[in-house]
Amino acid sequence: MPRLRTLLALPVLLAPAASSAPSAPPADALLPLLVTQGGAPAAALLTRDKTGTSYFRAGHGITRADHFRAGSVTKTFIATVVLQLAAEHRLKLSDTVEQHLPGLVRGAGNDGRALTLRSLLTHTSGLYDFTAATGGVVPLTPRQALRISLAHPPAHRGRFSYSNTNYVLLGLVVEQVTRRSYAAEAERRVIAPLGLKGTSFPGSRTALPSPHGRAYATDGTDVTELDPRVAGAAGELVTTLADLDRFYAALLDGRLLPPHWLREMLDTRTAHGSYGMGLYPVTLPCGTKVWGHNGRISGSYVRTAATIDGRRVLTFRVDTDAVADPALEPALLAAEFCPRTS
């Protein structure tokens, strides 16, 4: 199979089951299907609720403590930092890109004077996704990624169009406002306060921290060694299952953002229901809505979803680029978050 060209693919929802259908199996019972039907060498799942955590795995060479690349889950961390800065009145979501990065966004009909930070956060800027040209496997500096993007005309502004370029720009805005790197700000504001000891922004380091398993492209190539600059602020993060569960629980229960700014993060109106700011909702067949993000980068696919209050969180991962059967992800979410009937 060819390498995937983006760092995020929105999930496909299952049709609602008939009321007479038998109860769905628990998520851990479905996990082995990520290996047998999903084509992954191994899969792991960690859930968190008021009773504690539960861990399950399928396949070989994967453990609970493994560090792995989280791809576009990075965007939730970056969006959180931007919204914290907004809460501190150090920027406004209505600010234009031009105000913070003068002259940087120009060319092929792109104009930073017409783009707001809100449009970057919600993927409604219309900026071309640079990973569509690089396949998400070419290490780039932020400005190199922007040059690729700005060589292409924008899509229709105001409509949701997922683009990693948006979050590369937000990383630069964070650096301009704080005079520190987006990685340093995320460490200071999110990672350290929550005690996410397995989470880091590796920069150009190609090796994963220990412990870790192997990572495989969809063609079976070992891609454990990877330059994270293929994604930058749009997908650089390295983390663990436990850290992602803890982060999303803390974010959604209000420990990282004041109530007004958490509501802004969860407001999907700008993107017409598709996306908030670094998070997106999925309504399951039973009517339950969960919030989270997925991440795809060469050798790793991860998905985190949580209830809106953060009291129940599920994170699963596979050690390859994608899950071959698109029905498995929504089935896992429904099995975890939908009430079971006898």
Q: What is the pLDDT of residue 156?
A: 83
Q: What is the separation of C-alpha 230 from the centre of its chain, rounded to a whole number of angstroms?
A: 15
pLDDT one-digit tens code per residue, 230-274: 999 999 999 999 999 999 999 999 999 999 999 999 999 999 999
Mean pLDDT of 154-176: 96
Record the pTM: 0.93
pLDDT one-digit tens code per residue, 200-211: 999 999 999 999
Instruction: Provide the pLDDT confidence category of residue 23 given band limits of 50, 70 and 90.
Output: low
Share of the chain above pLDDT 70, in %: 92
pLDDT one-digit tens code per residue, 285-327: 999 999 999 999 999 999 999 999 999 999 999 999 999 999 9
Instruction: Provide the pLDDT confidence category of residue 339 given band limits of 50, 70 and 90.
Output: confident
Mean pLDDT of 162-169: 98
Q: What is the DSSP string of 115-164?
A: -BHHHHHTT-S----THHHHTT-S---HHHHHHHHHTS----TTS----H
Q: Looking at beta carbons, which pairs linking 256-265 to residues 24 or more positions away fall under 8 Å?
A: 256/80, 256/84, 256/189, 256/190, 256/194, 257/80, 257/83, 257/84, 257/87, 258/87, 260/87, 261/83, 261/84, 261/86, 261/87, 264/83, 264/86, 264/93, 265/79, 265/80, 265/83
Task: Report the chain's mean pLDDT, rounded to a whole number.
Answer: 93
Q: CA-to-CA distance for 204 and 289, rounded, in angstroms?
A: 37
Q: What is the pLDDT of residue 6?
A: 36
Q: What is the pLDDT of residue 340?
A: 76
- Closest to 295 measured CA to CA, from 4, 69, 46: 69
- Using only the alpha carbons of the chain, give its radius of gyration: 19
Q: What is the pLDDT of residue 157?
A: 84
Angle at 122 between CA 120 and CA 192, to 5 degrees: 80
Whether the predicted pLDDT of 60 surpasses 50: yes
pLDDT one-digit tens code per residue, 84-119: 999 999 999 999 999 999 999 999 999 999 999 999
Tell me the domains of the chain and their CATH numbers.
Answer: 27-337 (3.40.710.10)
